[in-house]
Amino acid sequence: MNERDFANRIKHYLDLGAGRVDSRAATRLYEARLKALSHAAIADARVSLTGGSQSSLDDVLPRGRTLIAVIALALAVGGFSYWNALEHAAELAEVDTALLADELPIDAYLDSGFDEWLKHSSEQ
């Protein structure tokens, strides 16, 4: 016997017994039921205030985790791009420093072929 069958059997026996309760007892049972339901409504309201926020947190949390992961990924990509640009600027500064510190005649800097060589070497 499963729970549903058991509950149906109990309900059946309670329904059979409800017909034999006198009116005074039925009135007292009805008032007690109303009082219990009013207390249950207050308890449900308290639970729904805390439990409702918990269930909405469960609904939002997976989306929040996804959002946090996307933001973290975007920050990582942005940080890598920034770091890469700094490294590239440092390399260019190193090349410029080496060129300026080298003992080249001033005519080499004025030569158009030298400018082409610089462009070609910086692309590599």
Q: Per-residue DSSP letters for 3-25?
A: HHHHHHHHHHHHHHHHTTS-HHH
Render pLDDT for 44-84 as a digit per residue (tens, 0 to 9).
555 555 554 445 555 556 677 788 888 999 999 999 999 99
Count of CB atoms situated within 10 Å of the CB of 95:
13
- Sorted by sequence, the CB contacts under 8 Å of residue 75 that are 6+ apart come out as none
DSSP state of 1: -
pLDDT band at 86 (very low <50, low <70, confident <90, very high): very high
pLDDT band at 19 (very low <50, low <70, confident <90, very high): confident
Q: To the nearest whole number, what is the mean pLDDT of the chain?
A: 78
Selected residue with higher pLDDT from 69 and 119? 69
pLDDT of residue 85: 93
Instruction: Give alpha helix (H) positions in the chain.
Output: 3-18, 23-101, 106-110, 112-123
Q: Which of 121, 21, 66 is nearest to 74 (CA)?
A: 66
**pTM score, whole prediction:** 0.36
